[in-house]
Amino acid sequence: MKRNLLNSLFIIALLAIGLGACNTKKEEAPKEPKVLTVYYSLWGNTTLLANMIHNTVGGDIFLIETATPYPTDNAHAAAQKQIDEGVLPELKGKVEDLASYDIIFIGTPNWFGSTSLPVKAFLKENDLTGKTVIPFATFGGSVDNALAGIVEACPNSTVLEGFSVSGDDAKNPEKNVEAQVKTWIETLYLTLKNNVQ
Ligand SMILES: Cc1cc2nc3c(=O)[nH]c(=O)nc-3n(C[C@H](O)[C@H](O)[C@H](O)COP(=O)(O)O)c2cc1C
């Protein structure tokens, strides 16, 4: 299953970035795409969703961390202060060899109706030009512009349809969010395939 979905994603990436098989020499097998799931999570909900995606598509996974952690019980005040001051948090660590990835799932919690500040900082620091980007998010009440903020920050990437779910649903096994994730990824493939036929 993992391999099937990964191959599907590879085809998505080829179609989306317009390479197509005609650019590949006949005798050469197409290179398997490198997939990365990168995300920020303060309270663990987006981690749950990121792990579901990673379990479905394989590849590598990277947690964005801030140099100074937000207080988990009073993150709103700390984040609001940064917004008021117009600053983004300093990040700790870097994705190794980001340039080598073809497909990047980027996950964020909704913060104040938008993409969280650590993910904004990641997108400012890392140039995703030419990559296929797939956003995902968790939220408390509604997704608002959490996905749209990622799309806006990636003007030179091919951005595919994102997925969002409430943090409560991500934690609730009865909601079977993992099945929704698998359907979403299969739908991405089918939609693109139908678009080019
Ligand atoms: C600073 C901050 C701002 C938030 N703002 C919103 C919001 O505007 N709308 C919303 O639905 N949820 C908001 N939330 C709730 C989170 O989006 C939600 O709980 C999410 O699932 C948390 O993800 P995490 O556990 O990965 O950190 C906010 C949470 C924090 C910490």
Mean pLDDT of 148-163: 97
Strand duo 35-39 + 103-111: pairing: parallel
pLDDT of residue 15: 54
| pLDDT tens per residue across span 69-87 | 999 889 999 999 999 999 9
pLDDT of residue 189: 73
Q: Is the predicted pLDDT of residue 20 greater than 50, yes or no?
A: no
pLDDT of residue 33: 85
Mean pLDDT of 22-38: 74
The domain limits of the chain are 32-196
Helices then strands, each counted (H, E), the chain: 7, 9
- Nearest atom, ligand 1, residue 45 CA: 25
pLDDT of residue 192: 61
Mutation test of ligand 1: which of 111, 138, 142 has the most ligand atoms closer than 8 Å to its C-beta? 111
- Nearest atom, ligand 1, residue 143 CA: 11
| pLDDT tens per residue across span 158-190 | 999 999 999 999 999 999 999 999 999 998 877
Strand duo 103-111 + 114-115: pairing: antiparallel
Residue nearest atom 22 in ligand 1 by C-alpha distance: 109
Choosing among 3.40.50.300, 3.40.190.10, 3.40.50.360, 1.20.1050.10, the CATH entry for 32-196 is 3.40.50.360
| pLDDT tens per residue across span 92-141 | 999 999 999 999 999 999 999 999 999 999 999 999 999 999 999 999 99
Cβ atoms of residues 109 and 39 within 8 Å: no
